[in-house]
Amino acid sequence: MPELPEVETTARLIEPGLLGRTIRGVQVEWLRSLGGMSRPKFERAVVGAKVSRVWRRAKYVVIDLQRRGKPAGVLLVHLRMTGRLVVTGRGVDAPDYNRVSLELDRGNLHFLDVRKFGRFTFHPEASPALEHLGPEPLSDATTPEFLYGALGARKRAIKPLLLDQTFLAGLGNIYVDESLFGARIHPQELASRVSKAKALKLHAEIQRVLREAIVREGSSFDAFYRTPEGQPGSYQHLFRAYGRTGKPCERCQRPIRRIVVGQRGTHFCPRCQVLSKASR
DNA sequence: CTATGGCCCTGGTTGC
DNA sequence: TGCAACCAGGGCCATA
């Protein structure tokens, strides 16, 4: 499922095909992808606008629009489980599972989404739509000390907390499992019970895991995620916990276990990631 | 503030 | 071999 590295990769790879392009028309094949906006309203909002920037915030691809050189709203794309963004040349048929297309003055942008969970929405302003999100894990402002302090203020299991986009924005199931494995923290450990040393280690692991995944253009599995160029990412070859149920932990050889935490499949090493008594 | 459960979806997997 | 039941899972919402 696309998380920060996959979304970052997507934004980077589609930007060249979008920058400076003018939107000539739209094609909406699954209305709910627009997140509640009517087809005509969406069309009025974007047709005639020009793309001035493509970037990422949390797990959103943000497409800035302009009219006559002035800001004219943004498109926020959330890939959720199976969403993809693909730029194709003019005259090329829409790929399978196309939900929304933008016809550009040169080529097309397609939003594909097998399971239809994703969203392709227009907003007059970016800030209100994004302000509920927590800090970026790779931002300089998100220091190890900050993470330690934030964890200390929360009395809940660390894994659901790290998945909470208002706490920290961009992590999903995979990279949380990988980060906790790296920091040797049990996914059900109470956030406030995580030692300072482990909190600092967690910060380092989150950044390392995300940066390495971005370099490898994300992770591909289940035949779902592909980069916009159709290539699979390769970070899945570096998974140490996620999806490795029953396989030996690379540190201690104990089999990786799979449990359910907060309704999410969770992978960890029962020997390296020990739950403190205080966390039950 | 935190926890739980339902909902949205469909391709792939499992079970018979 | 065929087919139905079941499952995954991010974000959001209602409920406790």
**Protein-proximal nucleotides of chain C (any atom < 7 Å from a CB):** 8-12
What does the pLDDT read at residue A144? 97
Q: Can you list the domains of chain A with their CATH numbers?
A: 4-130 (3.20.190.10), 144-279 (1.10.8.50)
**Protein-proximal nucleotides of chain B (any atom < 7 Å from a CB):** 1-6, 8-12
**Distance between CA atoms of A144 and A200, rounded to whole angstroms?**
5
Nearest to A54 by CA among A135, A109, A114: A109
Contact A177, A215 (CB under 8 A): no
A102 contact partners, CB below 8 Å, separation of at least 6: A23, A25, A26, A27, A46, A108, A109
Nucleotide nearest to A116 (CA to C1'): B9
Tell me the HSE value of A50 on the side-chain side, using a 13 A CA sphere: 10
What does the pLDDT read at residue A222? 52
What does the pLDDT read at residue A218? 87
Q: At what angle do helices A196-215 and A4-18 cross, to 10 degrees?
A: 40
What does the pLDDT read at residue A91? 85
C1’ B3 / CA A216, Å: 36
Mean pLDDT by 10 residues, chain A (280 residues): 91 95 97 95 97 96 97 96 92 92 96 94 93 95 96 95 95 94 96 97 96 89 56 83 92 93 93 90
What does the pLDDT read at residue A75? 96
C1’ B15 / CA A13, Å: 42
A180 contact partners, CB below 8 Å, separation of at least 6: A158, A159, A162, A186, A187, A202, A205, A241, A268, A273
Contact A258, A265 (CB under 8 A): yes
Q: What is the dihedral of CA A100, A103, A106, A108, to 10 degrees?
A: 20
The residues of A that are catalytic are: 2-3, 59, 264
Tell me the HSE value of A268 on the side-chain side, using a 13 A CA sphere: 27
What does the pLDDT read at residue A223? 46
End-to-end, the C-alpha distance of chain A in Å comes to 30
* Separation of CA A272 from chain center: 27
Q: Give the long-range contacts of residues A124-128, CB within 8 A, separation 24 or more.
A: A124/A45, A124/A73, A125/A73, A125/A74, A126/A57, A126/A62, A126/A64, A126/A74, A126/A76
What does the pLDDT read at residue A226? 57
Nearest to A5 by CA among A169, A228, A214: A214
Contact A101, A133 (CB under 8 A): no
Q: What's this model's pTM, rounded to 2 decimal places?
A: 0.95
C1’ B10 / CA A82, Å: 10
Where does residue A16 rank: exposed (0-12), middle (13-18), buried (19+ CB within 10 A)?
A: exposed
